[in-house]
Structure 1
Amino acid sequence: MAVDKSGARVRQMFGEIARRYDLMNHVLSGGTDIYWRSRTVRLVPPQGDAPILDVCTGTGDLALAYSKAAGGRVPVVGSDFTHEMLVLANRKRDKVVKEASAPVSFLEADTQKLPFPDNTFQIVSVAFGLRNVSDTRAGLREMARVCRPGGTVAVLEFSKPKGRLFGGIYQQYFRHVLPRVGQFFAKNKQDAYEYLPASVSEFPSGEKLTAMMDECGLHSSRYVPFTFGVCSLYMGTK
């Protein structure tokens, strides 16, 4: 049975876990989610003064990382369709963004219908959110549409470790331990931490996702595995 990724279900689910979202990300990944975002910013760095967009931004960690990497001199926008997540993103921004000369702003928007003109952003990024978009291709096409020619679409997402030993151990943790721990600490009606491994197992990874990116308006798409392939960074050029 296909995972239910309807907008209403996903919005409610992330709204319910928003308050514990950051804590659970750090706990369940052993803190490596922080490293994955920092490496994303290093591999796809800001260049010039064109703005940057982070879609499905959640509580804004990658958007804020990009603002920091740009020295606060480049406008950064984070978009998400879950209001509760954006409330936390704004609070976080107000605490950490002190000396920026360019704004970091957050707005409520569906990644499949972004409210921006064509060819606007030098980087359009997403971290652990594309698999939650009900139509992956529609999300990628919108990301490519608002990216400037020569710019980069960067997708940081969970993938499937290939090694037999590590991959087997990880799959056991991901499918059986993580959902129980997540549900215990971040109780919700939508079984968010059961949804996580199910959505990852259905989502295209590796060459399948890079091929899809190239079909959706990008070219020369490639990927770099992180942490033995637990997640990967996908990069495509507009």
Structure 2
Amino acid sequence: MNPSKYQIWKTFDKIARYYDLINRILSFGIDKRWRMRMAEFVKNGDSVLDIATGTADVLVCVLKKRKIKMAVGVDRSWNMLKIGRNKIKDKRVFFSISDGMRLSFKAESFDSVTIAFGIRNMSDPELCLKEILRVLKKGGKAIVLEFSIPKNFFVKTVYMFYLRYILPFLGKTISGDHYAYRYLNKTIETFPYGNEFLNLMKKAGFCNTAFFPQTFGICTIYVGEKLS
């Protein structure tokens, strides 16, 4: 399965109003905890860019955890951004339509760049990482949250069954879109994770990289810095 960028954007536009509800149900609310943990890597006083911001859940967590200078959330889905704007009324937070592989910002504009469950949807993840590096200030930090595959055999077996059969069924039942959740499980199964993803970050130019598995390795937080 190799859908075009247009197909992906239209898919997320279509399911936008169900997106938060489905995330809560399918993750049993754990996705909020993952985003809060992700937000802990942001520092007080940072200027923050959130790529593939969707309905702005990451920025909501960042605002709860840190006193930031300002933040920008970008996405290609206008319907997602509209929901995000309704969630956040803080005057320090702005939203814009932008492609994660061709960011409309000057070099060295942000202290932290976050992206949750978005880099997997990029047609060229390494190009996205290079763009993140470009817009980061020296010493700035990239924080990536992405699905991964558990190492434990039992957890992996249950998880893969859930991904392949239960998730698409529930997703279709709630949103009416079967394709979106078939696409989700396919990309999770094939996307690099752990050290393999760290190697992508290093290849893009990041240093001091590390990863932190969450909830039995169902997802992972990756962190990398721009050389100061």
TM-score (norm. length: structure 2): 0.96
Distance in 1 between residues matched to 2:113 and 2:205, nearest whole Å: 13
Q: What residue in structure 2 maps to residue 224 of structure 1? A: 212
Q: What residue in structure 2 maps to residue 66 of structure 1? A: 62
Tell whether 2:102 aligns with 1:138. Answer: no
- Asked if structure 2 preserves the Cα contact closer than 8 Å seen for 1:64 and 1:104, the reply is no
Q: What residue in structure 2 maps to residue 127 of structure 1? A: 116
Match of 1:37 among 35, 38, 48: 35
Aligned with 2:104: secondary structure?
coil
- Asked if structure 2 preserves the Cα contact closer than 8 Å seen for 1:5 and 1:132, the reply is no
Match of 2:170 among 172, 177, 181: 181
Distance in 2 between residues matched to 1:187 and 1:140, nearest whole Å: 33
Q: What residue in structure 2 maps to residue 204 of structure 1? A: 192
Distance in 2 between residues matched to 1:211 and 1:220, nearest whole Å: 12
> Which runs of structure 2 are paired with 1:157-172 in the superposition (5 Å)?
157-172=146-161
Paired AA for residue 76 in structure 2: F
The Cα of 1:45 is off from its aligned counterpart by 2.5
Paired AA for residue 114 in structure 1: L
Deviations 1:75-95 (CA, angstroms, capped at 9, x unpaired): 01100011110011111113x
Deviations 1:88-144 (CA, angstroms, capped at 9, x unpaired): 1111113xx4xxxx5111100000010111111111010001101111111111011
- Asked if structure 2 preserves the Cα contact closer than 8 Å seen for 1:5 and 1:133, the reply is no
Distance in 1 between residues matched to 2:31 and 2:65, nearest whole Å: 17
The Cα of 1:4 is off from its aligned counterpart by 2.1
Q: What residue in structure 1 maps to residue 17 of structure 2? A: 19
- Asked if structure 2 preserves the Cα contact closer than 8 Å seen for 1:67 and 1:104, the reply is no
Tell whether 2:34 aligns with 1:46. Answer: no
Q: What residue in structure 1 maps to residue 144 of structure 2? A: 155
Paired AA for residue 185 in structure 1: I
Distance in 2 between residues matched to 1:166 and 1:217, nearest whole Å: 33
Q: What residue in structure 1 maps to residue 98 of structure 2? A: 109
Q: What RMSD in Å do the two structures reach over aligned CA positions?
A: 1.2
User: Structure 1 stretches of 5 or more lacking a match?
Assistant: none
- Asked if structure 1 preserves the Cα contact closer than 8 Å seen for 2:36 and 2:65, the reply is no
Instruction: Check 1:5–1:123 CA distance in 2 against 1; reply closer, same or farther (3 A cut).
Output: farther
Distance in 2 between residues matched to 1:69 and 1:83, nearest whole Å: 26
The Cα of 1:68 is off from its aligned counterpart by 2.8
The Cα of 1:74 is off from its aligned counterpart by 1.4
Paired AA for residue 142 in structure 1: E
TM-score (norm. length: structure 1): 0.92
- Asked if structure 2 preserves the Cα contact closer than 8 Å seen for 1:126 and 1:155, the reply is yes
- Asked if structure 2 preserves the Cα contact closer than 8 Å seen for 1:67 and 1:76, the reply is no
Distance in 2 between residues matched to 1:5 and 1:89, nearest whole Å: 25
Q: What residue in structure 1 maps to residue 223 of structure 2? A: 235
User: Structure 2 stretches of 5 or more lacking a match?
Assistant: none
Aligned with 1:119: secondary structure?
coil
Q: What residue in structure 1 maps to residue 83 of structure 2? A: 88
